[in-house]
Amino acid sequence: MIVVRVTTDVTQNATDRMTALLKTTPEPGMRLESIPVPEPGPGEVRIRVESVGIDRGAEALIYDWHESKRHYADELPQLFGHEFAGTIDATGPDVDGIATGERVAVEPVVGCGRCRCCRSGSFSICPDRRIVGLDPALDGALAEYAVVPAETVYPIGSLSADEGVFLELLGLAVHGIERSGFEPGDSVAITGPGAVGIGALVAAVAGGASSITVVGADADREDRLPLARELGATRAVASEELTDGLDEAVDVFIEAAGHPDAFSLASSSTRRDGEIVQIGIFHGAETVPVDLTRLVRRGVSITTVYGRRDSSWRRAIAIAADTDLSPALGPSFPLADYADAFEATRRREGIKITLHP
Ligand SMILES: [Zn+2]
C-alpha cells in the first residue's frame, strides 16, 4: 500500500491529493509534497490526521539522518509518522464496528496475528511485527490522511488529538505497571523524565502510588523535573544529587532512561523482594553491567516491557480522561512549520512535540 509517488511541489490540493511531509533524499531534512490521498482497502480505515508526534528516537533521528537510521536509504521516498490521532474519514470493505466520524488513536505495531505472541495478546513482541509509519510498506501519518488496518484504532471519545498521540506512550507505561506486581500504596521511583517516564508517572499517580520519586539528569532541572512535580511526583531530583542512591528503597522502580547508571541506581534503590520494571532501551550500549548476584540475594526481580497490549490502551484512555495531561503536551506546530518542530525537538522543548497536518 505504498502510495508515495513524488510529483510536484505543494500546490492547492484537489480533493484526491494531500500534503505530506516526506523523507525524499538520504540527507538531513524532509520536504512537503503533494501526493494522492490513500484509499482504504479491505479491513482498512482512513484517518484524517489531526496530530502526529515526533519521537526523539525515531522521526527526529530520521529527519536528522542519524547514522542509526540510514538503513532507510534504499526505501526513499518514505512517509514516516507513527504516533497519531484523528477522525475516521472513510472505511474500506469488510470493516465492522467502527464508523466515519469516530475520533481515534492508533496502535502502530501490527503483529502477524498468527504466532504465539500475537495469539496471547503480546502482538508488540511479535517477531514479524511491522510498525505503521516506520515500516517502508506501511505509510505513516506525517500527512493529512493515513490508512491503517481497522484493528489498530482505539476510539478516544472527547480526548484531544494531542492527548490521543500521548496515549501511545502512556499505554507503554501502563503496560509496565500492568506487568509488575505494583499495588495501590506502593512506593515508586522512575528514572528518565522523557515521554515514557512522564507517562509512567501519570500511570503511577492514577494507580494510587504512596510516593513517586522521579530522577532526571542535570539538564532536566529547569523544565522536566518541575513538570514532574506538577504532574504529581512527590520528589523530583537530578541524579547528581543522589550520591548514595535513594534515601529509602522503593517497592517498584521503573527504569525509563535506558542508561546503565539509571539501572545501577534501580539495583541499589529497590527494596528486598521489590521489582525493577525495565522500559528504557539502552541505545548505543552493547551490554549493560548488572550486579545480578546482589539482586538475587535480595530477591529483586526484573521485568522487561515493550510496547502495549489491548488492556494497556483501555486503561491509558481511562487514565487520560481523568488526568490533566496538558503539562506534557506540545508545543504543537502546523505541518508546514515542520522545520521549527524538529528544531524544538533538538532543543528538548516540551515532552511530546506534535505536528498538526
Ligand atoms: Zn505474531
Q: Does domain 170-304 have CATH number 3.40.50.2000?
A: no
Structural Rg of the chain based on CA atoms: 20
CA of 123 to the centre of ligand 1 (A): 6
Q: How far is CA 258 from the centre of its chain?
A: 14
Q: How far apart are the first and last CA of the chain?
A: 21
CA of 109 to the centre of ligand 1 (A): 11
pLDDT for the residue numbered 243 = 83
Angle between the N-to-C axes of helices 195-206 and 310-321, in degrees from 0 to 180, rounded to the nearest 10: 80
pLDDT for the residue numbered 286 = 75
Query: pLDDT (tens digit, 9 = 90+) per residue, 121-173?
Result: 999 999 999 999 999 999 999 999 999 999 999 999 999 999 999 999 999 99
Query: pLDDT (tens digit, 9 = 90+) per residue, 241-258?
Result: 998 889 899 999 999 999
- Which of 45, 237, 103, 85 is closest to 170 using CA atoms? 85
Residue 8 has pLDDT above 50, yes or no: no
Query: Who has greater pLDDT, 6 or 260?
Result: 260
pLDDT for the residue numbered 244 = 83
- In Å, how far are 119, 309, 357 from 315, measured between CA atoms? 20, 10, 28
Q: Which residues fall inside 5 Å of ion ligand 1, going by CB? A: 111-112, 115, 118, 126
Q: What are the residue boundaries of the structural domains of the chain, listed by start?
A: 17-155+325-355, 170-304
Number of Cα atoms under 13 Å in the Cβ half of residue 295: 18
Mean pLDDT of the chain: 94
pLDDT for the residue numbered 246 = 92
CA of 308 to the centre of ligand 1 (A): 14
CA of 214 to the centre of ligand 1 (A): 35
Where does 17-155+325-355 sit in CATH, by number?
3.90.180.10
CA of 129 to the centre of ligand 1 (A): 6
CA of 281 to the centre of ligand 1 (A): 21
CA of 60 to the centre of ligand 1 (A): 28
Q: Percentage of the chain with pLDDT > 90?
A: 93
CA-based torsion, 214, 168, 79, 34: positive or negative = negative
The H helix count followed by the E strand count for the chain is: 9, 17
CA of 139 to the centre of ligand 1 (A): 20
CA of 122 to the centre of ligand 1 (A): 8
Residue 11 has pLDDT above 90, yes or no: no
CA of 152 to the centre of ligand 1 (A): 14
CA of 126 to the centre of ligand 1 (A): 4
Are the folds of 17-155+325-355 and 170-304 the same? no
Q: CA angle, 134 as apex, 56 and 329 as ends, to 5°? A: 40
Asked whether the beta carbons of 106 and 148 are under 8 A apart, the reply is yes
3-state secondary structure of 38: coil
Q: Which residues pair with 52 in a beta bridge?
A: 84, 355
Query: pLDDT (tens digit, 9 = 90+) per residue, 60-114?
Result: 999 999 999 999 999 999 999 999 999 999 999 999 999 999 999 999 999 999 9
pLDDT for the residue numbered 3 = 53
CA of 95 to the centre of ligand 1 (A): 21
CA of 121 to the centre of ligand 1 (A): 9
CA of 127 to the centre of ligand 1 (A): 6
Answer yes or no: pTM beyond 0.85.
Answer: yes
- In Å, how far are 37, 197, 232, 330 from 301, measured between CA atoms? 49, 20, 26, 36
Q: How confident is the model at residue 283 (pLDDT cuts 50, 70, 90)?
A: confident
CA of 305 to the centre of ligand 1 (A): 17
Q: CA angle, 82 as apex, 77 and 86 as ends, to 5°? A: 110
pLDDT for the residue numbered 284 = 77
* Region of residue 233 (left: phi > 0; alpha: psi -120 to 50; beta: else): beta
Neighbours of 347 (CB within 10 A): 9
CA of 130 to the centre of ligand 1 (A): 10
Residue 1 has pLDDT above 80, yes or no: no
pLDDT for the residue numbered 9 = 47
β pairing state of 84-91 and 44-53? antiparallel
What is the Cα–Cα distance from 89 to 255, expressed in whole angstroms?
A: 39
Number of Cα atoms under 13 Å in the Cβ half of residue 342: 21
CA-based torsion, 37, 60, 106, 198: positive or negative = negative
In the structure grid, which three cell numbers stand for residue 46, read together?
482512513
Q: What is the mean pLDDT of residues 40-47?
A: 98
Query: pLDDT (tens digit, 9 = 90+) per residue, 193-211?
Result: 999 999 999 999 999 999 9
Asked whether the beta carbons of 269 and 290 are under 8 A apart, the reply is no
What is the Cα–Cα distance from 20 to 143, expressed in whole angstroms?
A: 4
